[in-house]
Amino acid sequence: MIPVRATNALIGSPIERLEDMRFLRGRGQYVDDLAFDRMIHAVILRSPVAHGRIRSIDKSAALRLPGIHGVITAADIGSLIPIVPLRQDGSDELKPFLQPVIADRKVRYVGEPIAVVLADSPARGEDALEHVAVEIEPLRAVVDTAMARTGESLLFEQAGSNLALTLTGLRGDCESALRKAAYTRRERFKVQRHGAVPMEPRGLLATWDDAQQHLTLYGAAKVAFLNRRMLAKQMGLPESAIRMVENDVGGGFGARGEFYPEDYLIPFAARLTGRPVKWIEDRRENLLATNHARNAEGELEIACDRAGTILALRGHVLTDQGAYIRTNGPTAARNIAQVLTGPYRIPNVHIDVSLMMTNKTPSGTYRGPGRFEADFFRERLFDIAAGELGIDRVEFRRLNLIAESEMPYQLPTVEPLNIASETDSGNYRSTLDRCLEEIDWTARLAVQGKLLDGRYHGTAIGCYLEGGASGPKEGARLVLEADGKVSVYVGSSSIGQGLEAVCAQIAADALGLPLDGISGVFHGSPDHVSEGYGAYSSRSVVMGGNAILAAADKLRQSIRAAAAGKLNCNANEIEIDGGTARGPLGRPLPLASLAGLSAEASFASNKRTYSYGAHAAHVAVDVKTGHVEVLDYVAVEDVGRIINPLTLHGQVMGSIVQGLGGAFLEHFVYDEEGQLLTGSFADYLLPTADNFPNIRAIALEEKPSPNNPLGAKGAGEGGIIPVGGVIANAVAAALLSFGAQPRELPLSPPRVWALVNEPDSVTR
């Protein structure tokens, strides 16, 4: 392993994000800030029906309008419509369910692209949409997984089923353990469809140089290298003929930056017209067309002995994938199958997760994909089981947590993808105990289920794992500039997580430089490094940070060798001290005199890291209105090694608030014809600054990861993962005297009111 140099102790310091001053001064550059000569604007005509056959498209009237430069349909692209490929968790069984970049003969969800109008302005393009005449023969819409299972209406007739694939998490002999168990309990749970909804909707700007046969695409985010590979294949170009430019991004959260139909359609339009083409998604399009997430329901069964030791967990979960399997669509299902057991010792597991196709917007990843759903299912089941066994909820969890002596602990293997994983390090009881201490658990129990000032109070606690550091590798390049400072180039992308600050801290410490010895951090673009993999699955610090360490080690060697040549000494006699290389007897040599030196390296690993922790909540429920107030919320997580406690705290707090939004507010609702009913912020509710003021987050670094030189673990998603389960259990504790058992999210006021007043109306 490469030794970690921390002479400046910048790693671990609460340094403000380097990028913030740019944003606060209004100097950020988003895609919509860009403009080029002769630029035209793309507006997407989207399907108004959820399921139907396209009988005809007449664009002649639209083309006669002033300021309209073209209308692109499937017929203009050719006989072979490109398909959006899978990026991860691929299987041949999923290929029939992949999405064409534009509707061809059939539409499968409201919002699917049918045509692209190219106009002088977005307003003219919007006007022209009404003049494109599309005749669609309606087909019966498949609006939920129950209907999908009947097969009465098929999204893909050639597949013969609305079931795309079933993934299975396996460990031990589940059936035998269930037969022998003294106690078993089966229950059904459901998590609603909601999604990332970043502040800035998606946007792209493409330019085409016909003479050079070269494409430039602005608006790349998250996985620019992989998207370039996909686009090059679709357009019949070498990868070197495509330049992907990463602009500033107003939030990602797993949804932004994946390959969407527009990622082909806008470059295609630029090549077709020979003009720069810009497309900016409006908010309704964002809610209608950007990946949705969650939307899982299932039945789980737990088996325990009388003392509360868990013997087995089995179940069948259905995930509503929407109309197509998109680039990372199977990821949430894979995570449910593998991490439904969480940080607990469960020797026998059999979890089937079926990917069902419906006439809704396709699903993808959203912060904590699959893990949020899995934790809600598991932690709710645990509280029910502990209550029926007469065991304290905390002791039930403590008894079954994986012990430090059992590390690494093998998680269930996901078949048929043959995906195996294991925990790396941790003392799970430590974060549980710290969380209990911080929320003053014993004192809170005194008000459990009590009516105080007109509201019923309840508390709950839950434990979780956060998988991070997806491989296989990441690249970094360091360059010594003319002023003696070092520029850092990394393949990881910036999607709002404070990447520039943490990369600068890691590089400065590794090189023995002050923070201002780093001239800048440049990220996410194929212009910067020869290979990169991007920002997803809490990987940027672990993979990108360790790539910086490797490149820094090479650069130090180059500096020493070059300085030794100038100072007539051996390389091992050179010390780097701030902006100076010093030889024997302290002879100084400014680093600026060695300008031009560079080093590139990568860090490769297929071993994931697992942060872990516990969350606790105290809520008050008004049974007359169904309103739930979060009086206190405490999160404790061990992240292995903290690079920047300030940015980490911001990540955790924001993540928790997103989890509370999913627990109480956010819900994509469809009617029986597949029409989205929550297509604006008037109906799709997001948490605001005054909703959840009482949140506390504590980060620990007791157990560094043994899988990388930094000892770091991914920490961008842990805040959201346990929230749904913890909140639902706290509500159940508050309503204990009513016998209320929340089994479905979100816990909106009408649903909570129904739990108390009309329990038979609430989904079991």
pLDDT at 693 over 80: yes
Between the alpha carbon of residue 600 and those of residues 436, 512, 532, 571, the distances in Å are 46, 18, 12, 20
- State the pLDDT confidence band at 8, using cuts at 50, 70 and 90: low
**Same-domain pairing of 79 and 24:** no
Confirm if 464 and 445 have CB atoms less than 8 A apart. no
User: What is the per-residue pLDDT for 2?
Assistant: 36
Residues 482 and 579 in one domain: yes
- Residues 25, 46, single domain; the answer is no
Domain membership of residue 672 (yes or no) is no
Q: Same domain, yes or no, for 586 and 475?
A: yes
Q: Are strands 203-209 and 133-138 parallel, antiparallel or unpaired?
A: unpaired
Residues 104 and 24 in one domain: no
Q: How far, in Å, CA of 756 to CA of 215, rounded?
A: 60
Characterize the bridge pairing of strands 695-700 and 628-638: parallel
Kindly report the CATH number assigned to the domain that includes residue 243.
Answer: 3.90.1170.50
Both 482 and 528 in one domain: the answer is yes
pLDDT of 3 over the 80 cut: no
Q: Which residues pair with 461 in a beta bridge?
A: 616
Q: What is the pLDDT of residue 530?
A: 82
Express each pLDDT in 453-509 by its tens digit. 999 999 999 999 999 988 899 999 999 999 999 999 998 888 888 899 999 999 999
pTM assigned to the model:
0.96
What is residue 762's predicted lDDT score, i.e. its pLDDT?
Answer: 62
How much is the pLDDT for 1?
35
In angstroms, the CA 521 to CA 477 distance is: 10
Can you tell me the mean pLDDT for 79-90? Answer: 92
**pLDDT(4) > 60:** no
Token pair for 147: 């209907």
Element of type H or E holding 373: helix 371-389
In a domain, 192, yes or no: no
Burial 159-172 (b: 16+ CB within 10 A, else e): eeebbbbbbbbbbe
Question: What percent of the chain has pLDDT above 70?
Answer: 98
Helices marked H in 274-370: 283-289, 331-339
Does residue 481 belong to any structural domain of this protein?
yes
Per DSSP, the residues of 377-393 read HHHHHHHHHHHHHT--H
Distance CA 689, CA 334 (A): 33
In a domain, 337, yes or no: no
Structural domains in the chain (count): 2
Q: Which domain holds residue 583?
A: 20-29+470-604
- Any domain includes 373: no
Q: Give the C-alpha separation, 642 to 498, whole Å.
A: 13
Q: How far is it, in rounded angstroms, from Cα 402 to Cα 761? A: 38
* DSSP result, 257-279: TS--THHHHHHHHHHHHSS-EEE
Q: What is the pLDDT of residue 494?
A: 87
User: 25 and 115, same structural domain?
Assistant: no
Compute the mean pLDDT over every residue in the chain, rounded to the nearest whole number.
95
pLDDT at position 759: 72
- Split at pLDDT 50, 70, 90, the class of 764 is very low
State how far the Cα of 730 lies from the Cα of 710, in Å rounded to an integer: 37
CATH number at residue 511: 3.30.365.10
Residue carrying the six token digits 């991490």: 339
pLDDT grade, residue 6 (50/70/90)? very low
**Over the stretch 402-436, which tens digit does the pLDDT of each residue have?**
999 999 999 999 999 999 999 999 999 999 999 99
Q: Is residue 528 part of a domain?
A: yes
Has residue 305 got a pLDDT over 80? yes
SS3 for 288?
A: helix
Does residue 738 register a pLDDT over 80? yes
- Buried residues in 290-310 as b, exposed as e (16+ CB within 10 A): bbbbbbbbbebbbbbeeebeb
Is there a single domain that holds both residue 133 and residue 201? yes
Q: Report pLDDT for 761.
A: 65
Of 552, 571, 604, the residue that ends a domain is: 604
User: Quick one: 220 and 134 in the same domain?
Assistant: yes
Which of 289, 318, 337 is the last residue in one of the domains?
289
What would the pLDDT profile of 605-656 be if each residue is shown by its tens digit?
999 999 999 999 999 999 999 999 999 999 999 999 999 999 999 999 999 9
Q: Looking at the domain assignment, is residue 394 inside a domain? A: no
Distance of CA 763 to the CA centre of its chain: 28
Which segments within 386-432 are labelled E, that is strand?
Answer: 413-415
- Backbone phi and psi for residue 516, each to the nearest 5 degrees, phi listed first: -75, 0
Task: Taking residues 221-250, report their average pLDDT.
Answer: 95
pLDDT over 60 at 7, yes or no: no
488 within a domain of the structure (yes/no): yes
Helices 371-389 & 331-339 angle (0-180, nearest 10): 30
Query: With the CA atoms of 481, 486, 491 and 496 taken in that order, what torsion angle do they form, in degrees rounded to the nearest 10?
Result: -120
Angle, vertex CA 76, rays to CA 73 and CA 80, nearest 5:
100
Handedness of CA 754, 756, 757, 760 (dihedral sign): positive
What is the percent of the chain with per-residue pLDDT over 90, rounded to a whole number?
90
Last residue of one domain, picked from the residues 260, 289, 318: 289
Are 24 and 39 in a shared domain? no
Tens-digit pLDDT profile for residues 258-289? 999 999 999 999 999 999 999 999 999 999 99
Say what the pLDDT of residue 533 is: 87
Kindly report the backbone phi and psi dihedral angles of residue 429, in degrees, each rounded to the nearest multiple of 5, phi listed first. -70, -30
Indicate whether 69 and 115 sit together in one domain: yes
- Distance of alpha carbon 41 from alpha carbon 613, whole angstroms: 47
Q: How far is CA 133 from the centre of its chain?
A: 38
